[in-house]
Amino acid sequence: MRAEGVQVQSPVTADGATDGEKPAAVILDATGLRTPADLASAHDFLSPAVKRLRATGRVLILADPPSDADSPAQAAARQALDGLVRSIGKELLNGSTANLVFVPEGAEASIASPVRFFLSGRSAYVDGQVTSVSAAEIPAAADAERPLAGKVAVVTGAARGIGAAIAKVMARDGAHVVAVDIPAAGDKLAEVANEIGGTALQLDITAPDAPQRLVEHLRERHGGVDVVVHNAGITRDKLLVNMDAARWNSVMAVNLQAQLDITEALLHADGVLKPDARVVCVSSQSGIAGNRGQANYAASKAGVLGMVRAWAPQFAERGATINAVAPGFIVTEMTAKMPFGTREVGSRINSLQQGGLPVDVAETIAWLSQPGSAGVNGQTVRVCGQSMLGA
């Protein structure tokens, strides 16, 4: 195994057998694959080990990226692991998950943070995902209980639902949270900020002066910002042929253009966005798979993914990262108002056969916000229980 700095305790031996106990996690180091024939060793290890996996267990595969392969055969063998891990995720029962991390040569130091996350209960609704890490300067280990201690984090759309959950998890992890939402949500926003000991900032992020107002607030009140979570979003659903310009434009303004404008302003505001900052953008499963009656919403959320990929190299030059999280069916006050049948279908068309919770999205965002996640950049992590839509 090339990842020398990481030690994982497991009762699974090299042949997939155990010492009689059911393992909580099965970790396969699949680096070094050269041909499809080498995949037989992956089967020989995983088959008996996965059979013994306990409820809510974790399967994690570490591998070389196909893009770095020396030959088509090697690329084929590495890419085969993608299909393997997604299939394992669909076969597992009792809340167990399977995920894959691609680790290029020289990026071994970057895998500790993803390994901890994917083996923990905080990744409970992240299944069948493929994440790539890159070489990065990983800071000295922070307080494991409060990895964001001393950090300032901005969370937009923080007055309710997923945004409120993000703010609470960020505060739990030690950050001072600047909770942002529109003035109409001022009372709810103040409740969230007061509960977590944060700061409430009433701001319409689509206003022309919103980016500059946020920049000035962060500079004057907090001396800058370490974490930015672009969570604010709206829906204005209608079939495309019946969708008026107001529905289209309002969704684009909140869900996409505001993220672009605020991030651009922070990048160019001297000394406000910290050199090792973390930016996390909330996209959606709809941005990957599309959704009937949501052409505007799906387009805006797909645009977020393109923005993240395009900005990742520039962020890496600063020692910073930008990533996206794409939630699937998350149980909120809004989904609770859906017809029972629609709600049941939405929550069950995934490998885990249940809906996610706002805290599942929040935990994934908190992981991507940690200093130790410096090697995860330009990635999209779906928090969807491995939804069958857009799989």
| Residue in 297, 311, 315, 329 annotated catalytic | 297
CA 243 to chain CA centroid, nearest Å: 31
Q: Which residues of 283-298 are buried (b: 16+ CB within 10 A; e: fewer)?
A: bbbbbbbbbeebbbbb
Sheet containing 25-29, strands listed edge to edge, beginning at the edge strand earlier in sequence: 25-29, 58-63, 97-102, 130-132
Pairing between β-strand 380-383 and β-strand 321-327 as defined by DSSP bridges: parallel
125 assigned to active site:
no
Whole-number Å distance between alpha carbons of 228 and 277: 8
CA 20 to chain CA centroid, nearest Å: 35
Whole-number Å distance between alpha carbons of 25 and 102: 18
CA 326 to chain CA centroid, nearest Å: 7
Whole-number Å distance between alpha carbons of 238 and 260: 25
- Give the DSSP per-residue string, 79-92: HHHHHHHHHHHHH-
> Active-site residues: which are they?
297
